[in-house]
A and B are shown apart, each in its own frame.
Chain A
Amino acid sequence: MFRSYMRGKGRGSKKADKRSVKAEKHEEQALGNFTGQPLSVSLQQNIDRINFEVGGSQDIILRRLKLTDAGNTEALVVYIQCMVEEERLNNFVIRPLQRKRFSNESKIQPSEFLEVVKSSLLLTGIVMEINDWKMLFQKLFLGYSIIMIDGAANAIAANVIGGPKRGVEEPKTEMAIRGPREGFTESIRSNSALIRRKIRSPKLWLEQLTIGEISQTPVCMMYIKGLADENVLKDLRERLEAIQIDGILESGYIEELISDQIWSPFPTVMYNERPDVIASNLLEGRIAILVDGTPFVLIVPAVLNMFFQAAEDYYQSFDISTFLRMLRFVSFLIALLMPSIYVAIVHYHQEMIPTQLLLKLAAQREGVPFPAYLEAFIMELVFEILREAVVRMPTAAGNTISIVGGLVIGQSVVEAGIVSPAVVIVVSFTAIASFVSPAYSLGIAARLLRFFLLLAASTLGFYGIGLVVLLLLLHLSNLRSFGMPYIKPFAPLYLKDLRDTLVRAPLWMLRQRPQKLAEKNQVRQQIKTEPRKEPEQ
């Protein structure tokens, strides 16, 4: 109201514009900053204030109660419909307040009322006293119920959080054949509980902040005291506290706002939906950031190597895990380089391929109207369009698209001789390879860089690919995630850490945590658990 009023008045002259900017600044303060504004002693005044601030929103319920027989001491229960569990509210908050009748009210001060209500009447687990409007609104919108008593300077918040909530389900983004089937939900509390259920230690610490000027989103840092690097913690805390934004709707906001380097296709913060992955990272000395309203939990510091690791690697035997790790590395390279290598070979380095293959490729190119690099560009684009079309489609429509995409584009285009089959093979293989990576965010990097590499390959051939790859390596070795070199342990080289990179050594060999992470507590396993040898006879 205020906003539109000022805008309306200020339209026209420059001076007025400036004034409107000032007004907006004032308005920004009015939007959510109630710090240090004390509650009123008068219940009626408080009711008026709440009604004024929320604009009389009908989902905010203000329930008046009489505490005494005479009816001259009134109490108020404030809550938001469907954000509280109404049954608990009725049984544990409203009912005790109504059952107890204070007879000799003249002797009891309102503040004493408050104390009695808080300590002996309310039946909920969390009960806290509130003394300013900021706290009041924060708790109210988290799903607490607020109890106010006429004449008391403070209010009480009682935890009856409830409301719509998704149950713990199997994570959608990272499926596992073997391993826990539970995934995070949108509720921050149940998420932290899921982590606690993996690590039952008092040393698993949790720090909560509220970020978002308007959204007031709860954000949690979780780490294992003694394993997590204090400097990284301090750095992270500073970065989180520095965030001044109106709202945090997903952990992606936090990810982008705390990243060391956002001008990079490579993710420097990892996210995951699986409590077991988060737990294993906490045990390595990393820090988890939980954000309310999203099942994706962030992990810092993140290095490139982590994006090639799947949870299952540690649940199944090391030989197959090692094989799969290498497969993922190779697939990433294929996803990144294959179209550009094809273009470079076909356009610049025909002498490099075996003669028979050259003849086959040449035969396929026969009569194709576009040069190979354009073909590759077009087909890559077509694939990206298909992919994007299917991602957000309802499943029923998705099937249609895959049929149309697969048949019409895959087959007809080749049969019509508009695109050579080799390009279709290359593009589809690249697409499949790009889905191998367990971390979706790394796949995105490959997706974007593929086009740069294609451009380089089509103008400069292998030389161009070499240049771009060199640039990429430079960029990667320059990247840091909370001070951690991004391609650690390859550069700088940490020989011991190499046991859990391209290969996954047997667990009894992984006796130490990654270096430079939990420096004070490097040892993961004390006792040698390597396979015993049979005594010789």
Chain B
Amino acid sequence: MSGIKSRMRLPEIKKMGRKAIFLWAVCMLMLLSGCWDLRYLDKLGVVLAMGVDDDPSGKQKLRLTVQVVLPQNVAAESKGGTGGTPVTTFTETGDTIFEAIRKMSAKTSRRLFFSHTQMLIIGEKMARKGGIIPLVDLIERNPDIRTDISVVVTRGVRAERLLQMTTQMESIPVNQFHEMIDVNQEAYAMNYAVLVKDLTKLTGKGKQQAVLPSFRIVGDKAAGKSVDNVKTIPAEAIPALSTMAVFRDGKLVDYLKPKESRGLAWLQNKVKSTVIKLACPESKGNLIVEVHEASIQYKIKQSKDGMPVVQAKLEVTGSIQEIMCPGIDVMDEQVLNEIEELTSQAVKKEAEETIRKMQKKWRVDALGWGKEVYLQQPEVWKRIEKDWETVFPEVQHEVVCKTKISGSGVRGESIVK
């Protein structure tokens, strides 16, 4: 052993010592960060939804409600235990959202965590009075909050109350709201999801106005808060989608009627699937056409006086799903052509009704026509940009709809005689 020791030179030992010190220093360097930005998962209050209402006392601009998950209860549920509610809410007033959030720390034991927020709910009164655009600035600006969160408005109820509801199908209410919009868009297309990033896009060229899907409560509003609500069949109060709401400069103008709401979806290319009820051509009763695909294309032309003319071309593909009247032979191509024509007319009627309301009643360009003009006829847009609010109601338009019926189910003639 001593033989080896004697062979090792002093400089070598020094060199190795230096290396060891260097390594030690590198290891210590890691600790210097002090776990900066480290968050403990069990010390986070995961916020799934934010609701903004006006301050009823009027002292401050808004009243913020956040819906926070209680993970221990979510887990207890899956284990079959009877925990408390899966979520809870906190409410605080403030002039801005961020201020309200930070003030909320006086009530929460965990730090609120917004990266998983899925929905922003704006109360009806707030939407009418305060405007929605300033509310999304925080979401857009803050890197911790996603911009693909859905924005909705309430109808006849405060956002706070909606967030405090218990729901049956999903234990976490926000999941229920969120899924409702998607399911509706995919099955009936009366509402469609509008995201924060969609709202921020509106501030660009084109002067498009906002539309938002709206929620209301069906049933006993007061009973909705309690866990007992979900213990009865059916629940005493359930959240339900209403129709799309129209905004002018960020302030709520009105809610559309159901047919108009879908008309808006046609015009905005948001229909994924829906059903169209038609009156049978030769007898009493109805038949249903299920739409699988729908798309719209805008073409902006110029009229002789230099004003834009909007040509909308709708293409719809669907199939006959239900016939409740006698005498329709779906094997006959002539009959199918007739039904195609009827469908086109129905769709066109819905779309035109919406356009008429937008142009004449509210004078609000929520259809994005201004943007289309800007994209397709920039010179025209340059000229009329300033007066778009007055020009829009007078814009000539033409809606063409083409329908293709691709099937009639697995049955031929109707069983109705």
Which residues from chain A sit less than 8 Å from chain B, CB to CB?
20-21, 24-25, 28, 346-348, 350-351, 355, 358-368, 371-372, 455-456, 458-461, 464
Contacts and interface: CB of A to CB of B under 8 A. Distances in A.
Nearest to B72: A366
A458 B40 CA distance: 11
Q: Tell me what chain A mostly uses at the interface: helix, strand, loop, or mixed.
A: helix
Contacts of B37: 348, 461
Given A358-B41, A360-B71, 5 more contacts: A21-B2, A350-B44, A359-B74, A365-B41, A366-B71
Interface string B60-74: 000000000101101
A355 B42 contact: no
B41 A346 contact: yes
Contact of B39 (A24, A350, A355): A350
Interface stretch (B112-120, B221-229, B386-394): B112-120
B25 interface: no
B57 interface: no
Contacts of B75: 360, 363-364, 366
B41 A459 contact: no
Given A350-B44, A360-B75, A459 B3 contact: no
Contacts of A368: 42
Contacts of B220: none
B254 interface: no
Nearest to B37: A348
B40 A459 contact: no
B6 interface: yes
A24 B2 contact: yes
Most buried by A among B41, B44, B115: B41
Interface residues of B, number: 27
B48 interface: yes
A102 B39 CA distance: 97
A358 B46 contact: yes
Contact of B44 (A21, A360, A362, A461): A362
A362 B41 contact: yes
Interface stretch (B27-35, B274-282, B339-347): B27-35
Contact of A351 (B3, B40, B116, B118): B116
16 contacts: A21-B6, A347-B38, A351-B115, A358-B41, A358-B46, A359-B46, A360-B74, A360-B75, A362-B44, A365-B41, A365-B42, A366-B75, A367-B42, A372-B41, A459-B35, A460-B33
A362 to B, nearest CB: 4
Contacts of B115: 350-351
A459 B118 CA distance: 29
Interface in B1-31: 2-3, 6, 30-31
Contacts of B40: 347, 365, 371-372
Contacts of A25: 3
B71 A363 contact: yes
B44 A366 contact: no
A351 B144 contact: yes
Nearest to A456: B30
B41 A361 contact: yes
Nearest to B143: A351
A20 to B, nearest CB: 8
A350 B41 contact: yes
B49 to A, nearest CB: 11
A23 to B, nearest CB: 11
A384 to B, nearest CB: 20
A364 B42 CA distance: 9
B33 A355 contact: no
Given A359-B46, A368-B42, A350 B113 contact: yes
B39 A347 contact: yes
Contacts of A362: 41-42, 44, 46, 69, 71
Contact of A460 (B3, B30, B74, B116): B30
A459 B31 contact: yes
Contacts of B38: 347-348, 461
A361 B69 CA distance: 13
A348 B39 contact: yes
B274 to A, nearest CB: 29
A455 B72 contact: no
A515 to B, nearest CB: 36
Contacts of A359: 46, 69, 71, 74
Given A363-B71, A366-B75, A358 B3 contact: no
Interface in B259-303: none
B72 A21 contact: no
A363 B44 CA distance: 11
A532 B116 CA distance: 58
Nearest to B118: A355
Nearest to A18: B6
A25 B75 CA distance: 73
A2 to B, nearest CB: 16
Contacts of A456: 30
Interface string B125-154: 000000000000000000010100000000
Nearest to A366: B72
Interface in B374-393: none
Most buried by B among A21, A359, A371, A458: A359
A235 B2 CA distance: 31
